[in-house]
A and B are shown apart, each in its own frame.
Chain A
Amino acid sequence: MTNELRANPALVIPCSGIGKVHGLISRESAYLVTDELAPKHTDTLCLALLVKGDSEAVAAVRSHTCITIDGCAKACAQKNVEIAGGRVAKAIQVAESLKNYRGAKPGNATALTDEGWAITRDIAGDVACASARLRADAELIR
């Protein structure tokens, strides 16, 4: 870990899968973190742009610590960050997280229910904690 983490926010990258509610939860979790819970310390970027090989996107994941939020075990976000040469400090899979909410009806790929938003907020909280921990570790090393 380098001192640049202090200056550079962590990148929170969701998969945004379009077929199931898992992708929507990943996307909205990322926005909760970057817009509400840790706006000064986190940011996001377009996964498709990274997969396309855009030079700025590739440089961004290589120069920032990344936290990925994937909908399913295919882990498109995590894999593509790693393929681009980025370091994934924490990888979350919504499908795994949902096992803690058995019987929950989080909504669908288009809209979340109140229950879905509650789950999304929990996942966002985990991501924000991970981001804070990364900053604390960077401070210690410094």
Chain B
Amino acid sequence: MSTEITKIGIISCSGEAIAEGTISRLATRRVLELLRPDVTVTLCLPLFLSGNDGERNFARTHPTITIDGCSKQCARWGTEKHSGPVSGALVVSDILGTESSGCHRSSRDASPVDKEAVWAVAERIAAEVDAVLAEVAPRDTGVAEISTAQCACSSPLPGSKLSIKGKTLSIPGLPLIFEQCAERGIPAHADEGAILLDSVKIYHCVAPEDEAEYRTALVAAFQEFKSGLKPAK
């Protein structure tokens, strides 16, 4: 495994009661899938808010941007309460103003107005991602010199790389995930690949067809991690 700077976390409120919640969810997906796929990750907000330390480590280990539908800012509130200050906080109703009045909650009713709104918010999120990246980039180049005492709530922590189907993929926060697994007493055994994969899938999307390869790679990396011969950084 080699070290690499973690990605930007985006947490959407996805509020069900209002159209802006749907826009926050879809715009976040658009950034993850299309606009900034290589530098962003996400997590379900309810899981984050009600989860254990593993879930809540998310915003401690990623510079995080929250996307809220309304001024109640549930995503920002929850993230800051459990994981410290966020790097950016956007509110859909502030971005769109009255333009969101014609939007719908369900995607089956989506009109050109909804699609335009999702694009506008997605582009705003992408710009925020770029701004946060620009802020952390100087620190990226000097990772080796960064003191471990530095505040984790706004500075990125190293991730790790795995080889999947001949490609090298970045797994942000993998050392922390392994630490948590080790604390839970999970043995570094081939039979535990599913548990390791489940832990990784809390934070990262894994295509079903890649799961078998992920299990094998994670077991090998976890064995390496536990052996202490080459501890994950």
A residues near B (Cβ < 8 Å) are 13-20, 23-24, 27-28, 30-32, 35, 44-49, 51-52, 54, 74, 76-77, 79-80, 83, 109-112, 117
Known A19-B44, A28-B107, A31-B105; judge A110-B26 contact (CB<8 A): yes
A83, closest chain B residue (CB):
B50
Q: Smallest distance from the beta carbon of B103 to chain A beta carbons, Å?
A: 13
Across the interface, do B75 and A48 meet the contact criterion of CB distance under 8 Å? yes
B17-50 interface bits toward A, Cβ cutoff 8 Å, 1 = contact, 0 = none: 1100110011011100100000000111111011
Give the chain A neighbours of B15 by CB distance below 8 A: 46, 48-49
Q: How many residues of B contact A (CB 8 A)?
A: 34
Q: Smallest distance from the beta carbon of A41 to chain B beta carbons, Å?
A: 17
Across the interface, do B29 and A48 meet the contact criterion of CB distance under 8 Å? no
Give the chain B neighbours of A54 by CB distance below 8 A: 72, 74
Across the interface, do B46 and A51 meet the contact criterion of CB distance under 8 Å? yes
Give the chain A neighbours of B14 by CB distance below 8 A: 16, 18, 27, 48
Across the interface, do A76 and B16 meet the contact criterion of CB distance under 8 Å? no
Across the interface, do A46 and B25 meet the contact criterion of CB distance under 8 Å? no
Across the interface, do B105 and A76 meet the contact criterion of CB distance under 8 Å? no
Across the interface, do B29 and A46 meet the contact criterion of CB distance under 8 Å? no
Give the chain A neighbours of B106 by CB distance below 8 A: 28, 31-32, 35
A30 to B78: give the CA distance in the assembly, Å: 24
Give the chain B neighbours of A83 by CB distance below 8 A: 50
> Residue B46 contacts which of A30, A35, A48 (CB distance < 8 angstroms)?
A48
A24 to B43: give the CA distance in the assembly, Å: 14
Q: Smallest distance from the beta carbon of A63 to chain B beta carbons, Å?
A: 16
Known A48-B14, A52-B77, A111-B107; judge A76-B72 contact (CB<8 A): no
Across the interface, do A76 and B50 meet the contact criterion of CB distance under 8 Å? yes
B151 within 8 A of A: no
B155 within 8 A of A: no
Across the interface, do A51 and B107 meet the contact criterion of CB distance under 8 Å? no
Across the interface, do A48 and B50 meet the contact criterion of CB distance under 8 Å? no
Known A28-B108, A111-B107; judge A47-B78 contact (CB<8 A): no
Q: Smallest distance from the beta carbon of B126 to chain A beta carbons, Å?
A: 16
Across the interface, do A16 and B105 meet the contact criterion of CB distance under 8 Å? no
Known A27-B16, A46-B17; judge A19-B42 contact (CB<8 A): yes
- Output the residue of B25, B42, B43, B205 with the most chain A CB within 10 A: B25
Q: Could you list 23 examples of A-B contacts with CB < 8 Å?
A: A15-B44, A16-B21, A18-B14, A18-B29, A27-B14, A27-B22, A31-B105, A35-B106, A46-B16, A46-B74, A48-B15, A48-B46, A48-B49, A48-B78, A49-B15, A51-B46, A51-B74, A52-B49, A52-B74, A74-B47, A110-B26, A111-B107, A117-B108
B12 within 8 A of A: yes
Across the interface, do B50 and A19 meet the contact criterion of CB distance under 8 Å? no
B60-78 interface bits toward A, Cβ cutoff 8 Å, 1 = contact, 0 = none: 0000000001001011011
